[in-house]
Amino acid sequence: MERQLDNKSYGILEVKMRGVVNIEDVLNHYVSIAGDKSLPDKIKVLVDLKETRLNINPDELDNYTESMEKALSRFVHIKEAIVVEKPRETAIAMLLGKELSGSKNYFIEIFSTERAAANWLAY
């Protein structure tokens, strides 16, 4: 997995993941941004998974949801747009979003283009 973090323009944190990503990588993503004190309490995140294969079994999500929610609790508001191209990755991203939808400070949408994702984050 390769990640690049940028928070230069429009106040959107951009994360690009490449290669094979497992559930621990996803948890580390949330722990990493939660631990970055330079990020604001209200954050918008665009995650590009177009060059990624998610090696995640949907049954694994239950075991990690609590840890992810704990990391997300550092934020007053987190709006995350996930960009995917492949059907399997789309389904897994949707399941992850459903698992985390219980957090009242976390909002997620899945998109097929970065432009659509950025437009949603802008509002």
Q: How many domains does the chain have?
A: 1
Count of positions (residues) in the chain: 123
Looking at the DSSP assignment, which residues form a beta bridge with residue 6?
14
Q: Is 117 exposed, middle or buried (0-12, 13-18, 19+ CB in 10 A)?
A: buried
Which whole number is the average pLDDT over 93-107?
87
Q: Which domain holds residue 37?
A: 5-122
Q: What does 22-40 look like in DSSP terms, one character per residue? A: -HHHHHHHHHHHHH-TTS-
Residue tagged 């995640």 (tokens): 56
Answer yes or no: is pLDDT of 12 > 60. Answer: yes
Whole-number pLDDT of residue 90: 95
CATH number for position 112: 3.30.750
Which whole number is the average pLDDT over 24-45?
91
Residue partners of 61: CB distance under 8 A and separation at least 6? 23, 95, 96, 99
